[in-house]
Amino acid sequence: METAVLYCGARRTAYCQELLRNSGFQMAQIHAVGANPVGQLGGLLAKNRLVLLLGPERSGEPTFGGPFFQALHVPMLEGSPQGVLVLHGPDCIGWLIESREQAVALLPDRPEHLSSLLPELWLRLREKFELPQPAVSSPALNYDKLVERAFAQKEQP
């Protein structure tokens, strides 16, 4: 499914983009914004059925959702959106706002949190849009772990 991605003050865009691509998302449009992120949302929704919004999080919960919830007329109660699907991960959450034909997901930009939310998101999107199971490519090499392992080994005399 062709998807638009909007990074809202995100700092881990390369990791998140690789994770999304490896999870089967076909990214048609990718944008990054700092100020006034809501201005980009309308244009992305005009061309895409799915928009993923990624940004900073606190305690596993995205902190950038307020302006989007207001723009999409999502009612709020004590700072939490009402009437939207909550995506659950072990230590994090995300939100999926749905209309009849489109969906907008607000997700944390932390790759480990994002990877724990993607299975539930895909399950709902497959159900809603009648999508086939995504063809997931093999995971990329984790160079950080390979470097750590190399430096952890004792030098040979």
Q: Return the pLDDT at 141.
A: 63
pLDDT tens readout for residues 67-79: 999 999 999 998 8
Q: Return the pLDDT at 33.
A: 87
Record the tokens describing residue 64, joined without a space. Answer: 């950038």
Q: How many CB atoms lie within 10 A of CB 136?
A: 11
The residue extents of the domains of the chain are: 2-153
- Percent helix, strand and coil across the chain, each to the nearest 5: 35, 30, 35
Q: Return the pLDDT at 151.
A: 73
Query: Does domain 2-153 sit in CATH 3.40.980?
Result: yes
Backbone angles phi and psi of 118, in degrees to 5: -60, -40
Q: Return the pLDDT at 128.
A: 87
- The ranges of the chain with pLDDT < 70 are 35, 133-141, 143, 146, 153-157
Collapsing DSSP to helix, strand or coil, 28 comes out as strand
Cα–Cα distance between 78 and 62 in angstroms, integer? Answer: 15
Q: Return the pLDDT at 138.
A: 52
User: What are the angstrom distances between the C-alpha of 1 and each of 34, 36, 59, 84, 157?
Assistant: 26, 27, 30, 21, 54
pLDDT tens readout for residues 81-95: 999 999 999 999 999
Q: Return the pLDDT at 136.
A: 52
